[in-house]
Amino acid sequence: NRCHRQMAEIAVDAIMSVADFDRKDVDFELIKVEGKVGGKMEDTMLIKGVIIDKDMSHPQMPKNIKDAKIAILTCPFEPPKPKTKHGLEVKSVEDYRKLREYELQKFETMVKQVKDTGANLVICQWGFDDEANHLLLQRKLPAVRWVGGPEIELIAIATGGRIVPRFEELTKEKLGTAGTVRELSFGTTKEKMLVIEDCNNSRAVTIFIRGGNKMIVEEGKRSIHDALCVIRNLVKDSRIVYGGGAPEISCSLAVAEAAKKISTLEQYAMKSFSEALESVPLALAENSGFAPIHTLADIKSRQIKEKNPRLGIDCLNKGTNDMKTQSVIETLSSKRAQILLAVQLTKMILKIDDVRGSADQV
């Protein structure tokens, strides 16, 4: 509740960045929600790019890279292993030297292949040993290792790069580009994360949630997801209704009015449906500490008298029942879904001819 406004703005900005307004759709794959314990909820931020829970493979590598050209590799920085199962015997110092030289030569070739494309950052799905790491540092080629599969894919989407499975296939055209790649460090915890910003495809965004403990971070993730879903509904259908039980009361009145014009037995079913719609404002009034029946009757009579379908339950005691003045709104698509689901459930129960209560059970 403390960061109400901030969280809402972050959710709206995130959806606006990734929404496809032509198709009226939102791809949730492009919104990554990350959380990290050890900060205030106010530190939550929206990053127009990707954030990964890794740091540079060597502490002396640069922590901030401008105009990054990123090589995205799914092959490890190590010499190729023999495919067949056989033993490699090193019988003399000379043999060992030759093997070491071969390994060093392979590392040199790999680093050269990456450098030749113009890359100034390597993101690798696998690890590499200390020798390769040291060589990368000497050749001034920052690298990140052990980056997971989903993150690699998201980085490729965001930076417009291609995932390269073999060093031989790496070309200049397959590199991803980003405005800045920087390392975030968190106070005294010495934890680090990498932020890839100003990407080629700015439609991939990350919401980075902070919190005092794990439970708060998880709660923040759930709340943000709910908010994103509400905004997604608005992108799909921008129509809204006012909240506070106002639409249910006006629907109830309209159904009751229509029921009077029907002379057959269906009239009673329609009246019952009209009464059922009143259960939402009744529950709202009861939960807000008002006398439910009195409050509902009062608002119903006012809706008829003033011909104002926006009047609902004043749950927060703001002094007005007009939901437009209070800015209490709901999406039409969710309201429609609620009523449809309730009707479907009722139909399902009516189809069952014998319902056994707990008293009947043996």
- Give me the pLDDT at residue 82, please: 67
The pair of three-digit structure tokens given for residue 267, joined into one six-digit string: 């009239």
- Summarize the confidence of residues 167-185 as an average pLDDT: 85
- The percentage of residues in the chain with a pLDDT greater than 70, rounded to a whole number, is 93
What residues contact residue 206 under an 8 Å CB cut-off, 6+ apart? 31, 32, 33, 34, 46, 47, 49, 50, 51
- Summarize the confidence of residues 89-117 as an average pLDDT: 84
Mean pLDDT of the chain: 85
Q: How far apart are CA 244 and CA 316, in angstroms?
A: 10
| Confidence band for 362, pLDDT divided at 50, 70 and 90 | very low
Are the C-beta atoms of 312 and 251 separated by less than 8 Å?
no
How many residues in the chain? 362
Q: How far apart are CA 284 and CA 243, in angstroms?
A: 11
| pLDDT 10s digits, 321-355 | 888 888 888 899 989 999 999 999 988 888 886 66
Q: Interhelix angle for 246-260 vs 292-306, to 10°?
A: 70
> Letter for the amino acid at 330?
E
Beta-carbon neighbour count of residue 348 at 10 Å? 9
- Summarize the confidence of residues 115-134 as an average pLDDT: 84
Are the C-beta atoms of 37 and 208 separated by less than 8 Å?
no
- Give me the pLDDT at residue 126, please: 85
What residues contact residue 157 under an 8 Å CB cut-off, 6+ apart? 30, 201, 204
The full DSSP string for 276-293 is: HHTHHHHHHHHHTTS-HH
**Residue 75 has what DSSP assignment?**
S
Torsion angle in degrees (nearest 10) through CA of 200, 203, 204, 206: 120
- Type and span of the H or E element at 184: strand 176-186
- Summarize the confidence of residues 31-53 as an average pLDDT: 85
How far the first Cα of the chain sits from its last, in Å, is 49
Q: How far apart are CA 130 and CA 347, in angstroms?
A: 67
Separate counts of helices (H) and strands (E) for the chain: 11, 14
- Type and span of the H or E element at 207: strand 205-211
The full DSSP string for 17-43 is: HHEETTTTEE-GGGEEEEEEESS-GGG
Residue 214 has pLDDT above 60, yes or no: yes
- Give me the pLDDT at residue 254, please: 92
- Summarize the confidence of residues 27-40 as an average pLDDT: 84
- Summarize the confidence of residues 153-177 as an average pLDDT: 85
- Summarize the confidence of residues 58-75 as an average pLDDT: 86
- Summarize the confidence of residues 22-44 as an average pLDDT: 85
- Give me the pLDDT at residue 294, please: 93
